[in-house]
Structures are given as C-alpha cells and as structure tokens.
C-alpha cells in the first residue's frame, strides 16, 4: 500500500512524533510511505525518506499547498492519505474531491472542541473515510459533535514499545546517583512540557500539603517550556520556593529518551485537568512503573484504580496529595502494581498492537 502522511504542524509534540513513529512502522511492515511536511517545521528535520516540503501562507485554506498535496498524491499513486492535525483537514478534503478513490484517514489525538456541523465542516468531514479517536471517551464525544456516521468513527488506542525491564535496576541506580538520590528516596517522575495547562502547579501545591504531614517525596520535572510560555520555569521555581519544597524538586529540561527515568521512578504522575490520552503514562507503565493521573479525559481508560495505579480527583491538590501519600506509605505494594501496569500495556497499549490494528483499518473498505 502507498501511504501519504500529511502533517503541516510547526511543533514537535505527541502528534508530530507519532507521524515519525507510525511512518517508520508502516515502512517496516512493507508499505511505501511518503510525507508532506511543513518546510519550517521541526518534524521535517527528523524524517528520513521521501519528503515533500510545503510552505502554506494561509492556515487551513492555502490553495497552493492543497494543489501540491494533490499533485504528490497523484504522482505516487497514493492509496491512502493519513492526516494528523485538524488544520490539515481542509487540504485533505480538497485532495479527496479530485481523487475520490483515495482513502482519507484522520488519526485524532487531541480533545475536540464544540460542534462542527455547519456546511463547511459537513463538506470537510464528508470526505473523511475514517476517523480514529485515541480513546473511547473521545470517540463518543466525536459521534455527538461531528457530521459523520458513527460507523466511520473508531477508537484506536495509541501504543508504546515494550522495553527489556531486566535493565531496570541498573538504570534506577544510575539516574538516582546522578541526582544524589538513594534507593530509599521516593521519586515521582512528572514528564510533561512546562505549561500552565499541564498541572505542575497542582503538584507543587500537593507537595506543600504533604510536607505538612512529614511526607517529602522527590519530583523530577522532565520537560521544556512550551513555545509561548517563556518564563514559566521561573514562575514554577517561585511557587516551589514559596511552598518550601525546593530540595525535593529537580528540573531536567527536555529529555527525548525517558526510559531510564521511567525505570528510576517509583511512580509516574500526570496532573492535567483532562488529558486526552496520557502517552507518558503507558510509557512509564511499560517499565513496570505504576502511574497516577486525574479521573478525567482518557486517563481512566489507562489506569485501573488500585490495580495498576491510582486516580485522583481532577484539579484537586488535596486528592493528589492523598494519592501520593498512599503510594509513599504503601510503597511495598508498588512492585505488584507495576507488574499489573506492564501487563496492561502488553495487552492493550503496545505499539505492535496499535500498528496491527491500524493496518486492519487501512486495508478495510468499511
């Protein structure tokens, strides 16, 4: 099958890294993959393969870019156009209009906004053959919000690779030694961009509440500032200093390969108000590290409360603090939770399962 991956996003986050990862996996499965990417985008710097670079002047409606994608689809005789971000949907709809035999599949990883049932969106979504939602919760919302038949909206969980956890003890020692931590120090990994929407301030407030109760876990904040949020790192440091927990907090900046950090942590935490999916949770769980996250969005589809991790009340620092305290005081139970977490990923969230199911959807005519 000849697959055209379309992504004109300038960023390099979960959506964009997925394009790279899934393209490589589909090539490995024997498919021919070509890319249409933003000329000034960070993803274009990473892709190795057949890449066409575009420079749209008008977001959502750049005619020259739409024509370029149409020419590319025809030149490579693409069987499928794979779309990843909302802003690229009008271009995909344009191409579909002139290549009706081309299947258009949209993998959606971000929470939807409001209803999209006006005439323009009926035209756009009427040309999408299949929409793959990252969670069942998102799938249900999209059925209500979009002008698409329910049968054309499916759930396809994202997946992660399964590491060899035999190396976990060694990696745990190495990371902890690097930051002056002992094996007995309780360590929380918080792997997310530094952004007001990502929950770092909620965790800092939870640390303040825990210190009052003489519970003092350490936290590694692994992530760089989101573009446009410059100065937020200093704001977080001020909050940490005011809470009196500076000795417990470590900032690493962006780390692309987090495997050793997942191995070093006692738990992985996610504290957003309503996370669409929670890729960092399944990445940590693949290392047999239990996860904690809010009881909103797609997180409850990953965390089975009390079995492979814990849920806390969204945006409630007291609930988050109580959840962390439980993990600290019942630390001896974490290895069994970690084994269950690894099994959850093996059965439900492995990269291999994701690619296998995606191929089924790609080759289906339904």
- 211 with 243: CB under 8 angstroms? yes
**Of 58, 121, 69, 117, which Cα lies nearest the Cα of 94?**
69
**Of 135, 162, 159, which Cα lies nearest the Cα of 351?**
159
Same structural domain, 56 and 198: no
Same structural domain, 92 and 177: no
Q: What is the model's pLDDT at position 59?
A: 72
Give the CATH number of the domain where residue 172 resides: 3.40.50.2000
145-179: per-residue pLDDT in tens? 999 999 999 999 999 999 999 999 999 999 999 99
pLDDT confidence tier of residue 264, bands split at 50, 70 and 90: very high
Alpha-carbon torsion angle 95, 99, 104, 110, nearest 10 = 10
Among the ranges given (8-12, 102-106, 293-297), the one the predictor scored with the smallest mean pLDDT: 8-12
Q: Based on the structure, what is the number of domains in the chain? A: 2
Q: What is the model's pLDDT at position 144?
A: 97
Same structural domain, 141 and 197: no
**CA dist., res. 363 & res. 30, Å (int):** 13
DSSP annotation of 319 reads H
Phi and psi at 289, nearest 5°, equal -110, 120
Classify 291 as helix, strand or coil: strand
Pairing of strands 2-7, 32-38: parallel
Q: How far is CA 146 from the centre of its chain?
A: 22
Distances (CA, A) of 321 to 160, 217, 326, 333: 28, 11, 9, 18
266-316: per-residue pLDDT in tens? 999 999 999 999 999 999 999 999 999 999 999 999 999 999 999 999 999
188-221: per-residue pLDDT in tens? 999 999 999 999 999 999 999 999 999 999 999 9
DSSP annotation of 300 reads G
Same structural domain, 48 and 143: yes
Q: How far is CA 11 from the centre of its chain?
A: 13
Q: What is the model's pLDDT at position 278?
A: 92
Same structural domain, 210 and 100: no
Same structural domain, 179 and 72: no
What pTM was computed for the model? 0.91
Q: What is the model's pLDDT at position 366?
A: 59
User: Residue 94 class from Cβ within 10 Å (0-12 exposed, 13-18 middle, 19+ buried)?
Assistant: buried
Residue 227 structural domain = 165-348
DSSP annotation of 35 reads E
Q: What does the mean pLDDT of the chain come to?
A: 95
Same structural domain, 16 and 95: yes
Q: What is the model's pLDDT at position 181?
A: 98
Residue 49 pLDDT > 90:
no
């Amino acid at each position: 099958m000849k697959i055209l991956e379309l992504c004109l996003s300038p960023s390099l986050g979960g959506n964009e890294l997925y394009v790279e990862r899934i393209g490589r996996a589909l090539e490995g499965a024997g498919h021919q993959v070509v890319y249409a990417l933003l000329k000034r985008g960070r993803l274009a710097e990473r892709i190795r393969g057949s890449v066409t670079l575009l420079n749209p002047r008008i977001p959502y409606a750049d005619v020259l870019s739409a024509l370029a994608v149409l020419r590319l689809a025809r030149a490579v005789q693409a069987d499928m156009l794979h779309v990843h971000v909302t802003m690229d949907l009008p271009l995909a709809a344009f191409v579909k209009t002139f290549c009706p035999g081309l299947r258009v599949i949209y993998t959606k990883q971000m929470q939807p906004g409001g209803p999209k049932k006006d005439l323009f969106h009926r035209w756009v979504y009427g040309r999408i053959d299949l929409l793959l939602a990252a969670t069942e919760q998102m799938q249900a919302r999209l059925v209500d919000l979009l002008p698409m038949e329910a049968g054309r909206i499916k759930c396809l969980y994202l997946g992660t690779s399964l590491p060899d956890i035999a190396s976990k003890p060694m990696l745990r020692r190495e990371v902890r030694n690097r930051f002056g931590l002992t094996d007995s120090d309780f360590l929380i990994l918080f792997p997310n961009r530094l952004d007001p929407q990502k929950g770092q301030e909620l965790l800092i407030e939870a640390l303040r509440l825990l210190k009052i109760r003489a519970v003092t876990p350490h936290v590694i904040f692994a992530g760089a500032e989101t573009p446009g949020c410059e100065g937020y790192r200093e704001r977080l440091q001020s909050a940490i200093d005011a809470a009196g927990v500076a000795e417990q907090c470590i900032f690493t900046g962006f780390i692309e390969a987090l495997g050793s950090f997942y191995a070093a942590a006692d738990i992985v935490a996610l504290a957003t108000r309503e996370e669409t999916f929670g890729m960092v949770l399944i990445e940590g769980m693949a290392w047999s590290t239990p996860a904690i996250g809010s009881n909103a969005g797609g997180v409850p589809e990953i965390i089975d409360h009390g079995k492979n991790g814990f849920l806390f009340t969204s945006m409630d620092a007291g609930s988050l603090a109580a959840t962390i305290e439980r993990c600290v005081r019942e630390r001896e139970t974490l290895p069994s939770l970690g084994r269950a977490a690894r099994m959850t990923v093996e059965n439900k969230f492995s990269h291999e399962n994701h690619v296998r199911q995606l191929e089924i959807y790609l080759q289906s005519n339904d």
